[in-house]
Amino acid sequence: MGQDQTYIHGYAVAEDRRLHDQAATLEELLHHDLTFPAGSIVLEAGSGVGAQTIPLLRRNPGIRLTCLDRSAPSLDAARARLCAAGLPLPEFRQADLRAMPFSDGAFDHAFVCFVLEHLPEPEAALAELRRVVRPGGSLTVIEGDHGSVLLHPDDEAARAAIACQVALQRAASGDARIGRRLAPLLVGAGFTAVRVSPRPVLADATRPALVDGFVRRTSTAMVAGIRDEAMQAGLTDAAAFEAGLRGLLRTAEGDGTFGYTFFKATAVVPSVHR
């Protein structure tokens, strides 16, 4: 995601690490059915620090990838990560995905992950994506939905801490619950063959890797990252927020459960009618 005021999680080293932990934990869930033919010209819009670029390249050898992001430091971090992973380097372009420096129909496919939730006008980004993907080409969008959280034991303080993030994102003109809106957004932007599939995550004692990777190092770390901003906005105080974090971590114990649903949408740019 581009570096601007709408990205509430910031650009610290800890957030870079959290994004890569999240991508590694969720790779099979989110990427197992994302395949592009070798030779395809693919755009990853809002590629950020390259967390999703790694599985994209690893699972799609031979694609010609362009990564676009507003943040030059994020693109530099992505380049370093890809080099360390021994993956082929895509072309990196710095620009706003709502005004991309590409000609009409420049790409066969486009991929966007955890980006639309941060934009004040996701419709404008989708219109631009439709422009730069050729007729008959595809768009894949992945987003979360913070309204889908399931907790056991349920905990009001934990839900209040999550609500702080939703409120901060709304104040920044984003939508932390955008997952449920993907179908109407894509249809409204003029895409066809729109399909949305829920991708639920259930972390419990039978899935210890998910408990560690998703509950502790992804979800709780994400909420912890907005502590100062939430307090400055008057949404919480230190004691209440710490109680919320304890409630989230309680779900990672042996009898706990943490559930969340991501949404993955695919759509096609309509063919030109003559």
- Residues linked to residue 150 through DSSP beta bridges, in sequence order: 259
The domain in which residue 82 lies consists of 13-268
- Is residue 238 in some structural domain? yes
DSSP, res 194: E
Instruction: Report the pLDDT value the prediction gives residue 219, as an integer from 0 to 100.
Output: 93
Convert the pLDDT of each residue in 39-90 to its tens digit: 999 999 999 999 999 999 999 999 999 999 999 999 999 999 999 999 999 9
User: Is the pLDDT at 132 greater than 60, yes or no?
Assistant: yes
Q: What pLDDT does residue 105 have?
A: 98
Q: What is the mean pLDDT of residues 155-176?
A: 97
E strands, 20-94, are: 41-45, 64-69, 91-94
Q: Total structural domains in the chain? A: 1
Identity (one letter) of the amino acid at 38? A
Q: Where are the alpha helices (DSSP H) in 32-63?
A: 53-59
Both tokens assigned to 254: 């042996």
Q: Is residue 5 part of a domain?
A: no
Answer yes or no: is pLDDT of 241 > 50. yes
What CA–CA distance (Å, rounded) separates 10 from 6? 9
pLDDT higher than 60, residue 2: no
Q: What is the CATH number for 77?
A: 3.40.50.150
In the chain, pLDDT over 90 holds for what percent of residues?
88
**pLDDT computed for residue 15 by the predictor:** 73
